[in-house]
Structure 1
Amino acid sequence: MGVYTFTTFEETSPVAPGRLFKALCLDNHNVLPKVLPNVIKSIDFVEGNSTSVGCVKQFNFAEGAPYKYVKDKINELDVNNHYVKFTNIEGDALGDKLDHVVYEVKMTPSGSGTHYKMIAHYHTKGDAVITETDPIVKGGKESMLNVYNAVVEHLSKNPSACA
């Protein structure tokens, strides 16, 4: 098994870190299906009943999406410092090459908004090798960036959301 680490993306938004963290990390099971119904049909708790260390959420993708589901487990959560570490532990989104993917997300204040950074650690099966140009890596980056942008847009248009 190999481990390949890439920065998924780094962005700055006008939304405050607390609101963005709540929308993308703590309350994503409510926010994402509402903001992206054509992508995410629902998010269900498989283990635990709130977003906390050890909980597992299943992201069920909408019909027509390239994947059916993925399960994420929360490894670390620091609400005060807007940091989360989670692992894609199961799902067809992992494809044939990946055993699991560990993501680290850190949000820091930037002016009146947020500097957002996501790093992904791809753990491959067997002797599989991946690069940043691999379709599963590029597709994952695009998907994560689309979710991020949709949530930032939603929060910008709805100042009381996730306040």
Structure 2
Amino acid sequence: MGMISYDMEVTYSIPAAKMFKAFVLDADNLIPKILSQTIKSFEIIQGNGGVGTVKVISFGEGSQFKSVKHQVDGLDKENFLYSYSIIEGDALMGVLEKISYEIKIEASFDGGSVCKNSSKYHTKGDVRITEDQIKGGKEKALGMFKVAEAYLLANPDAYN
């Protein structure tokens, strides 16, 4: 099995605690609401939301994928750290065992936050993928965070 990884760091004007609460802790409700064309729903099929929880994410008509299974690998609410893996679904394109993500949201000096996102693509067998092949996923992840930031700016009383 091979692996390709990338790290991404993005700054936001939203405080770290608020961004974590909205984008991680309430993602199952918020994301389908603000990205309804892309993500239709999250459904917990095992667990209670904590480590070990498995969710099915169903994508909307605007997505190239139908669904994925998402497993919560780690959740540290005090340090705004969240890790999860995509373990099944057409987003794995038949060549990936899984995709693992770790999100760390830190306070920035100006009252906003810095989101550090680390992704690891685990390939099946000797399959090789390039960064160009995962570029679309990086752009979509960035877009989701930006949409969440825009929602929180437009709704300043949400997630206080």
Check whether TM > 0.5.
Answer: yes
User: Where does the alignment leave 5 or more consecutive residues of structure 1 unmatched?
Assistant: none
1:2 aligns with 2:32: no
Rounded to whole Å, the distance in 1 between the matches of 2:25 and 2:46 is: 15
Q: Corresponding residue for 1:105?
A: 103
- Code of the residue aligned with 1:126 in structure 2: it is G
1:93 aligns with 2:77: no
- 1:96 CA displacement: 2.2
**SS at 1:133 equivalent:** helix
- Code of the residue aligned with 1:158 in structure 2: it is N
Q: Corresponding residue for 2:145?
A: 148
Q: Corresponding residue for 1:32?
A: 31
User: Where does the alignment leave 5 or more consecutive residues of structure 2 unmatched?
Assistant: none
Superposition pairs of residues 11-160 of structure 1, within 5 angstroms? 11-49=10-48, 51-110=49-108, 111-134=110-133, 137-160=134-157
- 1:64 CA displacement: 3.4
Rounded to whole Å, the distance in 2 between the matches of 1:26 and 1:70 is: 19
Q: Matched residues, percent identical?
A: 40
Rounded to whole Å, the distance in 1 between the matches of 2:62 and 2:100 is: 26
Rounded to whole Å, the distance in 1 between the matches of 2:130 and 2:103 is: 20
Question: Runs ≥4 in structure 1, deviation > 3 angstroms?
Answer: none
Q: What do you get for the CA RMSD once the two structures are aligned?
A: 1.0
- 1:155 CA displacement: 0.6
**SS at 1:128 equivalent:** coil
- Code of the residue aligned with 2:156 in structure 1: it is P
